[in-house]
Amino acid sequence: MKKTVIELFAGVGGFRVGLNNITSIDENGRAIENGPFTFVWANQWEPSTKSQHAFDCYNIRFPHAVDNSNIDISKVDKKSIPDHTLLCGGFPCQDYSVAHSLSSSHGIEGKKGVLWWQINDILTAKKPAFVLLENVDRLVKSPARQRGRDFGIMLRCLSEQGYAMEWRIINAAEYGHPQRRRRIYIFAYHKSTKYYKTMKKSSPAEIISKTGVFAKEFPVEEVNAKAIKEFDFINGYKDLVEVSDKFHATFENAGYMIGDKVYTVKTKAIETAPITLGEIAESNGVDAHYFLSESQRKKYEYLRGSKKIPRVDKNGHEYVYAEGSMSPYDELSLPARTMLTSEGTTNRSTHIIKDPKEGKLRILTPVECERINQFPDNWTNSGMPEKRRYFMMGNALVCGIIKKIGNQINKIIEKED
């Protein structure tokens, strides 16, 4: 089986950086790929802006090795996408609700603009052997009014397409990485694969805590089989619309689905000491504009302090908005907090550190933000404004997590015909 890959919603290429163990760029700005995977297609389109900075960065780092697509994925003929073994991508957590169409055929329609349906359409058209997806951890609890429905819809879709899958919510810092970023990772494999037939022989407890892709790279304490919740929601609902209308379940941070059955259990990580901010911070001095002025220091002091603010909601009800206090700066002895797209702007979530050389307070540099996500230095130094470099890293994933998952996927594919 070929180790061919497509990358959806590619951003600046985090999946590719991780899967192919990219640690540097050459003198022409091209990525130096050290891994076994051949990327045959990638799509990146940002609908909210005329400038396509993420795509431009991707195209500079990978100029010839892939057919880079910069159009709305919904406008792509799914059958025209090259054949591939692995589909990967990070997609937004959106409202996945569905309804019957108005046509006499009573087809099922997903909410327009929701990118999960584009993934589902590609699975229908191309049936890749393996799928690797990343999303925010709240996916398993969305929406608030009907817990678990959105994830349930995804599971139903994958089941109908002939896939088994496992998932794990991973805090990157618990496994040695420099950011306390919690994300859900989903690995699906088609029933036509040898891997499917092998895993079908294992118990859910074994897969979740010992033999599965995530267990091998992100060890957890042994799972008590009696603690695993099992439910059959495939046969319990006649179609996706009924899942959308009636589904409600509690999914834990780990789980497994095969055939008609879903198994889920709360796991506890066997932790590894993380890389700290002190280890990734620039130690030889940075440009003056990263340091806080006195007025900026006071502003951050207020933003990070505790506060109680009277407010009025849209219905006219008065309430008090409260925030607890944060440390006035981020300790260099700890990993980074979760980096957001607002990083680098004057807001509560922006990291503030004491510069290792000067001892004065400053924000992080774009290179430090790249290191927090384990990209090569200056990966986003591709012509985009500095503000957008911060945004890209807030929107990216921790490449080291993908590298570890890729190690297992590589071994799995090597055993296929």
**pLDDT tens-digit profile of 295-334?**
999 999 999 999 999 999 888 999 998 989 999 999 999 9
Inter-residue contact 381 to 390 (CB < 8 Å): no
Q: What is the mean pLDDT of residues 98-103?
A: 76
Cβ partners under 8 Å of residue 389, min gap 6? 366, 369, 380, 381
Inter-residue contact 228 to 236 (CB < 8 Å): no
Q: What is the mean pLDDT of residues 13-30?
A: 97
Which pLDDT band, with edges at 50, 70 and 90, does 66 fall under?
A: low
Mean pLDDT of the chain: 94
- The model's pLDDT over 204-260, given as tens digits with 9 standing for 90+, comes to 999 999 999 999 999 999 999 999 999 887 777 888 899 899 888 899 999 999 988
Q: Cα angle at 284 between 282 and 288, to 5 degrees? A: 80
* More confidently predicted of 67 and 123: 123
Inter-residue contact 352 to 327 (CB < 8 Å): no
* 103, pLDDT greater than 70: no
* 401, pLDDT greater than 90: yes
Cβ partners under 8 Å of residue 293, min gap 6? none
For 57-66, 193-202, 220-229, 253-262, which range has the lowest pLDDT when averaged over its residues? 57-66
Catalytic residue, candidates 57, 93, 157, 369 = 93
Nearest one of 177, 127, 116, 106 to 152, comparing CA atoms: 116
Q: At residue 119, what are phi and psi to the nearest 5 degrees?
A: -60, -45
Name the pairing type of β-strands 67-69 and 38-43.
parallel
Inter-residue contact 183 to 92 (CB < 8 Å): no
Sequence letter at residue 247:
F
Can you say whether residue 167 is alpha, beta or left, with left for phi > 0 and alpha for psi between -120 and 50 degrees?
Answer: beta
Distance between first and last Cα of the chain? 5
Q: What is the mean pLDDT of residues 143-153?
A: 91
Inter-residue contact 414 to 407 (CB < 8 Å): no
Percent of the chain topping pLDDT 70 = 98
> Where in the chain are the domains?
4-272+398-414, 277-394
* 79, pLDDT greater than 60: yes
Q: What is the mean pLDDT of residues 90-102?
A: 84
* 106, pLDDT greater than 90: no
Inter-residue contact 244 to 156 (CB < 8 Å): no
Residues in the chain: 417
Q: What is the mean pLDDT of residues 46-58?
A: 92
* 105, pLDDT greater than 60: no
Quote the CA–CA distance of 221 and 216 in Å, as a whole number.
Answer: 12
CATH superfamily assigned to domain 4-272+398-414: Vaccinia Virus protein VP39 (3.40.50.150)
pTM: 0.95
Inter-residue contact 147 to 138 (CB < 8 Å): no
How far from chain centre, in Å, is Cα 253?
Answer: 15
- The model's pLDDT over 113-123, given as tens digits with 9 standing for 90+, comes to 789 999 999 99
Give the CATH number of domain 277-394: 3.90.120
Residue 405 has a pLDDT of: 98
Q: Which two tokens stand for residue 122?
A: 């590609």
* 281, pLDDT greater than 90: yes
Residue 249 has a pLDDT of: 85
Q: What is the mean pLDDT of residues 363-374?
A: 98
Inter-residue contact 208 to 223 (CB < 8 Å): yes
* 109, pLDDT greater than 80: no
Name the pairing type of β-strands 86-90 and 108-110.
unpaired
Residue 65 has a pLDDT of: 54
Q: Do domains 4-272+398-414 and 277-394 have the same CATH topology?
A: no
Quote the CA–CA distance of 76 and 58 in Å, as a whole number.
Answer: 19
**93 assigned to active site:** yes
Secondary structure of the chain in the HEC alphabet? CCCEEEEECCCCCHHHHHHCCCCCECCCCCECCCCCCEEEEEECCCCCCCCCHHHHHHHHHCCCCCEEECCCHHHCCHHHCCCCCEEEEECCCCCCCEEECCCCCCCEEECCCCCHHHHHHHHHHHCCCEEEEEEEHHHHHCCCCCCCHHHHHHHHHHHHCCEEEEEEEEEHHHECCCECCEEEEEEEEECCCHHHHHHCCCCHHHHHHHHCHHHHHCCECCCCHHHCEEECCCCCCCCHHHHHHHCCCCCCCEEEEECCEEEEECCCECCECCCCHHHHCCCCCCCHHHECCHHHHHHHHHHHCCEEEEEECCCCCEEEEEECCCCCCCCCCCCECCCCCCCCCCCCCCCEEECCCCCCEEECCHHHHHHHCCCCCCCCCCCCCHHHHHHHHHCCCCHHHHHHHHHHHHHHHHCCC
* 95, pLDDT greater than 90: no
